[in-house]
Amino acid sequence: MFRFLQDSCMAELPLLRELEQPDSPVLDRLGQHYATARPFPYLVMDDLFPADLLESALREFNLSRLNDVNDFRNQMQTKRSTSMATVLPPTVQRFFNIVHAAPFLRLLTRLTGITGLVPDPYLYGGGMHEVAGQGHFQVHLDFSHHPVTQLENRLVLITYLNTDWKHDDGGGLELWHATPRRRAVAIRPSFARTVLMEQSARSWHGHPQVVRSGRVRRALIAYFYTAPRTGAGARSRQTQYLTTAGQSLSQRLEVILRRLAPPLLMDVARARRRRH
């Protein structure tokens, strides 16, 4: 069974074949790009996954038909996503089976140098994400540890499913410097584009520019973990936001409140919003 899954992964992702070459120049080049990228390590890879796999996943992408979907609507983000309890559509589940399998984990280690990577098959914070017109996600750091396993969040993999996406459609992924506060990189969320990013205290990112009305921004997202490290640098276990010049006064005040309020208080506030 494992051998069948491994062979299936290799067949669907040509880049995995490069692992058979100890000195693969392709993987060396990608690994160098990741390590030297600024403002923090990241990679942009087009067509990493087969188009027919992603096209099938897009056809299945209907959150309204799924069970237990998260709905985030506040000043800092507007989106819907699957939860740890969601039963995923067949092709979407197939996609995550591929990225969670050992061959793909070895590829991630080869690209990033991070050993001992562990997937999260329950997809906490990941899964299927959808941002409709006028939706956004302010610049932020992701959670530092998985709330159930307590493993440390080290990498995020984002694969976009947006056909014919233009610059004017908004919703571009932005990577930011925190000091001084400025956007360093803007990445268009085009179909079959995959972004691999480090998760650390400097990994500020988001899509503060709203999605154009009439468009829907869709992505498949997976996080990867390791055992917690000592001395890895302080990082909040909750999503942490950055104040930026483009934010409204109320958004800036909410960023400050989130930093000052105890995590338990913010959990209560989030639960209350969900009930309403």
Residue ranges of domains in the chain: 2-235
Three-class SS state of 227: coil
pLDDT in tens, 51-104: 999 999 999 999 999 999 999 988 888 999 999 999 999 999 999 999 999 999
Q: Which helix (H) or strand (E) holds 104?
A: helix 102-112
CA distance 73 to 223: 22
pLDDT band at 178 (very low <50, low <70, confident <90, very high): confident
pLDDT in tens, 193-229: 999 999 999 999 999 999 999 999 999 999 999 999 9
Query: What are residue 174's DSSP bridge partners?
Result: 186, 206
Query: What are residue 128's DSSP bridge partners?
Result: 220
**In this structure, which amino acid lies at residue 150?**
Q
Angle between helices 102-112 and 90-100 (to 10 degrees): 50
Three-class SS state of 264: helix
Write down the CATH number for the domain with range 2-235: 2.60.120.620
Instruction: Please give the share of the chain, as a percent, with pLDDT higher than 90.
Output: 74
Question: pTM value?
Answer: 0.87
